[in-house]
Amino acid sequence: MEKKQYALGIDIGGTNIAYGIVDKFGTLKFEKSVPTSNFKTPIDFINYLFLQNEIQDELTNILGIGIGAPNGNHFKGTIDYAPNLLWKGCIPLKEMFENIFKVPTMLTNDANAAAVGEKFFGCAKDLKNFVTITLGTGLGSGIYINDSIIYGEHGYAGEFGHIRVIPNGRLCKCGRKGCLETYASSSGIVRTFHEMNSDNKSKSILLTYEKITAKDIFKEAQSRDLFATEIVNYTAKILGSALADFCAFSDPKAYVLFGGIAQSGEFFRKKVVKEFEENLLSIFKNKTEIRISSLHDKNAAILGNAASVFLNL
Ligand SMILES: [Zn+2]
């Protein structure tokens, strides 16, 4: 009898932990989300997970476990001093999982998991060289070049959100100024709203919002509010230009945009492409694509972490 092979994908966040069993085609057999605060220690969580009926039923079919976590260190298999987790210090998570589940376990950060997810289950199946850009509260990137994830010497490669795009620009939470993610992210877009002086501002519907979000700004831009459109154009300009510069460095076939802002699809993509092409070194012109993730309506984090198992085993 042919053995079915699944991966257990786990996404550990500051608020929730999502997990699921995934097959090689990206079908989620089962998925669940629990509050991270339910577990005082990582061992409490691992024991809970191990005893779940859905996991026990498939235990012999699980090939490996892929975990994405804040400050997840791929090389050491540890979570290193994650500021957003209750679990403090340096946690040897890989070892803890392997002791209980007895299957290979791998740990990575969210951005790399997103890239592997696109390669296996998303819109990058045909690509050997691409970069995923995750546009959330911040900006993350996963670099997949020569058919493998680039980790770098310390596992930190892909901190693209912290390249500086505006000299002496906005203060970033990393302590420096002008980082890309202070402009091209949902929090950056709200900052642009507050900072931008525009002739179109006074008549804008955005001023009627009590607490504005990037989603509101995109929605109003799509409804042709002029001030909202200016904000979106400015965001696309900074992002497109930064992506053009990074081409000179890594020569990807495509960028894959994922996250809240990217969900507006063609509307935002077209604007980014325009700025991107205008800023490219001529040898790259009309060669590099910008795609929108096809995993937005799926649980991309679980899929990406499960895909790491299929990639590595
Ligand atoms: Zn920064």
**Cα 162 to averaged position of ligand 1 atoms, centre (Å):** 4
For residue 71, the model assigns a pLDDT of 83
Give yes or no: residues 153 and 81 share one domain: no
**Cα 185 to averaged position of ligand 1 atoms, centre (Å):** 12
Give yes or no: residues 236 and 275 share one domain: yes
**Cα 3 to averaged position of ligand 1 atoms, centre (Å):** 47
- Does residue 270 sit within a domain? yes
CATH code for the domain of 55 = 3.30.420.40
For residue 3, the model assigns a pLDDT of 62
Pairwise CA distance, residues 188 & 199, whole Å: 21
- Does residue 276 sit within a domain? yes
- Does residue 64 sit within a domain? yes
Number of domains in the chain: 2
The boundaries of the domain holding residue 304 are 6-115+299-312
For residue 35, the model assigns a pLDDT of 96
Residue 297 has pLDDT above 90, yes or no: no
- Of the listed ranges 39-43, 123-127, 139-143, 259-263, the least confidently predicted one is 259-263
- Does residue 155 sit within a domain? yes
- Does residue 120 sit within a domain? no
**Cα 301 to averaged position of ligand 1 atoms, centre (Å):** 23
Give yes or no: residues 101 and 195 share one domain: no
Give yes or no: residues 171 and 256 share one domain: yes
- Does residue 122 sit within a domain? no
Tokens of 238: 């900074």
Give yes or no: residues 94 and 66 share one domain: yes
The pLDDT confidence band at residue 1, using thresholds 50, 70 and 90, is very low
Query: Using H for helix, E for strand and C for coil, what is the string for the chain?
Result: CCCCCEEEEEEECCCEEEEEEECCCCCEEEEEEEEHHHCCCHHHHHHHHHHCHHHHHHHHHEEEEEEECCCEECCCCEEECCCCCCCCCEECHHHHHHHHHCCCEEEECHHHHHHHHHHHHCCCCCCCCEEEEEECCCEEEEEEECCEECCCCCCCCCCHHHCECCCCCCECCCCCECEHHHCCCHHHHHHHHHHCCCCCCCCCHHHHCCCCCHHHHHHHHHCCCHHHHHHHHHHHHHHHHHHHHHHHHHCCCEEEEECCHHHHCHHHHHHHHHHHHHHCCHHHCCCCEEEECCCCCCCHHHHHHHHHHHHHC
Give yes or no: residues 178 and 240 share one domain: yes
Give yes or no: residues 158 and 48 share one domain: no
| 247-265 confidence digits (pLDDT tens) | 999 999 999 999 888 988 8
Read off the pTM. Answer: 0.90
Give yes or no: residues 284 and 179 share one domain: yes
Sign of the CA dihedral with 180 first, then 182, 188, and 194 last:
negative
Give yes or no: residues 152 and 77 share one domain: no
Averaged pLDDT of the chain: 94
- Does residue 227 sit within a domain? yes
- Give the percent of the chain with pLDDT over 70: 99
**Cα 96 to averaged position of ligand 1 atoms, centre (Å):** 32
Residue 119 has pLDDT above 70, yes or no: yes
Residue 154 has pLDDT above 90, yes or no: no
Give yes or no: residues 273 and 154 share one domain: yes
| 65-74 confidence digits (pLDDT tens) | 999 988 888 8
Give yes or no: residues 179 and 81 share one domain: no
Residue 224 has pLDDT above 50, yes or no: yes
**Cα 250 to averaged position of ligand 1 atoms, centre (Å):** 21
Residue 128 has pLDDT above 60, yes or no: yes
- Give the percent of the chain with pLDDT over 90: 83
CA neighbor of 218 nearest in space, from 259, 178, 256:
259
The pLDDT confidence band at residue 156, using thresholds 50, 70 and 90, is confident
**Cα 170 to averaged position of ligand 1 atoms, centre (Å):** 9
- Does residue 121 sit within a domain? no
Residue 54 has pLDDT above 60, yes or no: yes
Give yes or no: residues 72 and 199 share one domain: no
